[in-house]
Amino acid sequence: MGSEILVQVQDLKKYFFKERLFSTEKEPIRAVDGISFSIRKGETLGLVGESGCGKTTAGKAILRLIEPTSGQVFFKGKDLMSLRGEELRKLRPFMQFIFQDPYESLNPRMRVGEIVGEGLEIHGVARGKEKRERVEEVLEQVGLHPQDAFRYPHEFSGGQRQRIGIARAIALRPELIVADEPVSALDVSIQAQILNLLMDLRDRLGLTYLFISHDLRIVKHISDRIAVMYLGKIVEMASSEVLFRQPLHPYTQLLLQAIPRLDPAKREEKIFFKETFLSLEKERGCLFAPRCPHFKERCAREAPFLVDHGDEHWVACHFV
Amino acid sequence: MRHPLLEVRSLTTHFFTEDGIVRAVEDVSFEIYPGEILCLVGESGCGKSVTGLSILKLIPIPPGQIVRGEILFNGRDLLKLSEKEMEGVRGNEISMIFQEPMTSLNPVFTIGDQIMEAIQLHQKLNKRDARKKAIEMLDRVKIPSPEKRIDSYPHQLSGGMRQRAMIAMALSCQPKLLIADEPTTALDVTIQAEVLRLLREIQREMEMSVMLITHDLGVVSEVGDRVAVMYAGRIVEYGPIEDIFHEMRHPYTRGLLESIPQLEVKKTRLNAIPGQVPNPLNLPEGCKFHPRCPLRIEDCRREEPPLFEVKEGHYSRCLRWKECR
Ligand SMILES: Nc1ncnc2c1ncn2[C@@H]1O[C@H](COP(=O)(O)OP(=O)(O)OP(=O)(O)O)[C@@H](O)[C@H]1O
Ligand SMILES: [Mg+2]
């Protein structure tokens, strides 16, 4: 992995303005609330957090699959947010997205060959025979058979469909892949196959991943660095090794503790934290404060910033 | 000798569909002792839920049918009971909870109404006492300010709180056996950890038995006493939890465990099980796992292995269990 930075995200925000069912108040939902990080070429950054913390929204906003509310994303030095139509389209092949649900993300009426080759044609990369050859090559790279190009998605199992999704993503020889929970819908034994495949492809094709998942074991396994998200913000970021050895944010600590140990002898008593009812008020303080075991008065008043505690170990907590 | 609370003998449940016979559960036997948690673990479609539903005779007939077997609950064969008699068992002596609480909680009634209804179905209590009991149950599953929460509608609760309310409802008649089908699968890890701990605590307090259905070996390791590993409708390994995790004697159990990334060691590749689960309409001959098995030999193709006793209380359905360690 080089030191060249491929993606740089700066203060990215995505708010949804929705009228809530039982209130007239028009408070936005701050799905992504000012996140910043960069990913080096060839690196895998894991983005981890629980449901609703904004992971998927962040991933989509970074690729501009949805329009961010504000912030900047630099991809190979170009400011994606300032690009229009054709300029953005030209960059598209280099940044691809893999979806969580292999059932819903493939058009059931298209043959696998068309699904995988569609992008090649749209972006004018290859047509006709050349396109067919490229599709065959890619299918083999993801462990499918060239003949599978003539079949339809419903003829495949969940794991194979995810392979099709991966083939579609790598067909254009991208540099960055945002993978959103790419194995969550799969059985454990198939998860392992797909994780192996993603890691092989990364090494062989020199890919850079933003790997989004709620599963800490999986994130640790595949990532070089990990960013932990809570309610739209990154609360901690470090190399995976350091994050697991020395988690500093109380939320990360609790998250790591909650991972089942796979060893019945180590059913230690865990520390638990409050499950809250309060829909968070328009708080100025730390978003994690209501659930934090170390809550102090300052936390209610003042939101902590993400601060570097050395060796690129970033933490957003007043008391670290 | 302890006597089992529940003995399932050669349970065989099939679905007669247009495409053919789905042999969802085939010759499954196990027992659950008083006050223990038995985990039924395996991947999608292996027959865990059908096993659970068969015990309560909740299989849709047709297309389903319990073809064979006995389900002895306190010595009484549930399969011989009339539907009317079964109604006295369900929700009373044996309760069941499901993965997604929203599908089992009715959105138009408060959780209090629903718990009270469950109570009054089996117990002669007036409304006031039933309400008192319901508040007690909510308190027991550690829902804060239960006297207020009792009047909440399901959508007003978080996922974790809903699952607690479900547990409260299932336990309101103090069942002897709780069948919990993926009770934490829809929850975040931190909430899952709490719900599992709660389940374990209550199970001890009430000296209740639990059959916990899950696809997650992590969940098993946190709460199980004994484990049955299922594959393609069969139990392939069965034994005490320590044996399953540390001295497994079936290559499928081993494969499942090795498919999960370790936190302690950084390995670049996982030992994934090759291939995929067989089509239930078209199961392979012999051992159902042999097409994916690293230890397979010619004999595995020919004949389905029986459950071998590895040691007392630990069984493996593998011809080569001695070599599998
Ligand atoms: N009503 C039904 N009609 C036809 N087949 C059914 C029916 N219910 C279940 N099956 C089949 O029985 C088999 C076992 O299903 P079951 O629901 O028990 O699996 P499971 O182990 O609970 O899986 P999961 O982890 O996905 O919940 C599957 O092949 C399934 O398709
Ligand atoms: Mg099931």
Q: Is B118 in the pocket of ligand 1 (CB under 6 A)?
A: no
Rounded to the nearest 10 degrees, the angle between the axes of helix A112-122 and helix A128-141 is 120
Co-location of A49 and A117 in the same domain: yes
For A209-225, the pLDDT digits (tens) are: 999 999 999 999 999 99
Residue nearest atom 25 of ligand 1, based on CA coordinates: B44
Q: How many domains does chain A have?
A: 2
Q: Is the CB of B15 under 6 A from ligand 1?
A: yes
Give the helix/strand (H/E) hosting A177. Answer: strand A176-180
The domain containing residue A40 runs over which residues?
5-245
Of A300, A304, A240, A225, the closest CA to residue A34 belongs to: A304
Mean pLDDT, residues A158-181 taken together: 93
Choose between B66 and B160: higher pLDDT.
B66
- Map tokens 């950084």 to a residue: B266
Residue A172 and residue A70 share a domain: yes
Residues of B in contact with A50 (CB under 8 A): 188-190
Residue of chain A with shortest Cα separation from B156 = A277
Question: What tokens does B68 get?
Answer: 């064979």
The pLDDT value given to residue B49: 93
Residue whose CA is closest, atom 16 of ligand 1?
Answer: B47
Measured CA to CA, the distance from residue A50 to residue A214 in angstroms comes to 6
pLDDT digits (tens, 9 = 90+) for B294-309: 999 999 999 999 999 9
- For the segment B223-276, what is each residue's pLDDT rounded down to a tens digit? 999 999 999 999 999 999 999 999 999 999 999 999 999 988 777 889 889 988
- Predicted local confidence at residue B86, as pLDDT: 94
Where does a domain end: A224, A245, A266?
A245
AA letter at B223: V
Neighbouring residues of A41: CB distance < 8 A, sequence distance ≥ 6: A1, A2, A4, A5, A6, A175, A206, A208
Which is the closest atom of ligand 1 to the Cα of B53? 18
Query: Which DSSP string corresponds to A244-282?
Result: HHS--SHHHHHHHHTS--S-GGG-PPPP--PPP-PPP-S
Do A270 and A223 share a structural domain?
A: no
Q: Under an 8 A CB cutoff, do B241 and A264 touch? A: yes
Alpha carbon of B240 to ligand 2 centroid (Å):
22
Q: What is the mean pLDDT of chain A?
A: 89
- Contact (CB<8Å) B259/A196: no
Considering the entire predicted model, what is its pTM?
Answer: 0.90
- Of A211, A245, A279, the domain-final residue: A245
Cβ neighbour number for residue A217 with a 10 Å cutoff: 16
Q: What is the pLDDT of residue A280?
A: 44
Contact criterion met (CB below 8 Å) for A78 and A160 = no
Q: Which ligand is nearest to the CA of B181?
A: 2
Same domain, A267 and A222: no
Same domain, A235 and A260: no
Tokens coding B175: 């069942």
> Rounded to the nearest whole angstrom, what is the distance from the C-alpha of residue B45 to the centroid of ligand 2?
7
B47 CB near ligand 1 (under 6 Å): yes
The answer to whether the beta carbons of residues A32 and A232 sit under 8 Å apart is yes
A58 vs A26, residue with greater confidence:
A58
Q: What is the pLDDT of residues A227-275, one digit of tens each?
A: 999 999 999 999 999 999 999 999 999 999 999 989 998 886 655 555 5
Q: Which amino acid is at A63?
A: L
Q: Can you give the pLDDT at residue A278?
A: 41
Length of chain B: 325
Chain B contact set for A192 (CB, 8 A): 258-260, 270-273
ipTM value of the model?
0.88
Is residue B151 pLDDT above 70, yes or no? yes
What is d(CA B255, CA B269) in angstroms, rounded to the nearest whole number?
Answer: 13
Using the Cβ of A154 and the Cβ atoms of chain B, whether some distance falls under 8 Å is answered with no
Q: Check B272 against A189: CB less than 8 A apart.
A: yes
Q: Tell me if B100 CB under 6 Å of ligand 1.
A: no
Task: Please choose from B15, B18, B28, B55 the residue to mutate so as to test ligand 1's pocket, defined by most ligand atoms within 8 A of CB.
Answer: B15
Which residue minimizes the CA distance to atom 19 of ligand 1? Answer: B45
* Same domain as A288, residue A200: no
Residue B48 near ligand 1, beta carbon < 6 Å = yes
Identify whether residues A225 and A267 lie together within a single domain. Answer: no
- Distance, in Å, from the CA atom of A181 to the CA atom of A100, rounded to the nearest integer, reads 5
pLDDT reading at A149 higher than 60? yes
Q: Are residues A259 and A272 in the same domain?
A: yes
- Determine the residue type at A20: R
Q: Clarify whether residues A193 and A288 are in a common domain.
A: no
Cα angle for residues B61, B67, B68 (degrees, 5° grid): 140
Please give the full DSSP string across B216-276, using - where no structure is assigned.
-HHHHHHH-SEEEEEETTEEEEEEEHHHHHHS--SHHHHHHHHTSPPSSS--SS--PPPS-
Q: In this complex, is the C-beta atom of B272 within 8 Å of any C-beta atom belonging to chain A? A: yes
CA of B37 from ligand 2 middle (Å) equals 18
Q: Is the CB of B13 under 6 A from ligand 1?
A: no
Q: Convert the pLDDT of each residue in B75-122 to its tens digit.
A: 999 999 999 999 999 988 999 998 766 667 888 899 999 999 888 888
Yes or no, beta carbons of A264 and B158 under 8 Å apart? no
For residue A208, give the CATH number of its domain. Answer: 3.40.50.300
Determine whether the interchain pair B215/A187 forms a contact, defined as Cβ–Cβ distance below 8 Å.
yes
| Residue B223 CB-density burial (10 A; 0-12 exposed, 13-18 middle, 19+ buried) | buried
Q: Using CB atoms, pick whichever of A187, A199, A214 lies closest to residue B44.
A: A187
More confident call, A29 vs B208: B208
Do A171 and A22 reside in the same domain of the chain? yes
In the predicted structure, residue B164 carries a pLDDT above the cut 50? yes
User: How many whole angstroms from A23 Cα to the centroid of ligand 1?
Assistant: 42
In the reported structure, the alpha carbon of residue B62 is separated from the centroid of ligand 1 by a whole-number distance in angstroms of 14
A220 touching chain B per CB within 8 A: yes
**Alpha carbon of A205 to ligand 2 centroid (Å):** 38
Q: Is B60's C-beta closer than 6 angstroms to any atom of ligand 1? A: yes
- The pLDDT of residue A281 is above 50: no
> Do A176 and A73 have their domain in common?
yes
pLDDT at A26 over 70: no
Best probe residue, ligand 1, of B11, B25, B48, B288 (max atoms within 8 Å of C-beta): B48
Calculate mean pLDDT across residues A142-160: 90
| A176 and A264 housed in the same domain | no
From the number of C-beta atoms within 10 Å of its C-beta (0-12, 13-18, 19+), residue B232 rates as buried
Where a domain ends, among A245, A275, A304? A245
Chain B residues close to A214, C-beta within 8 Å: 188-189
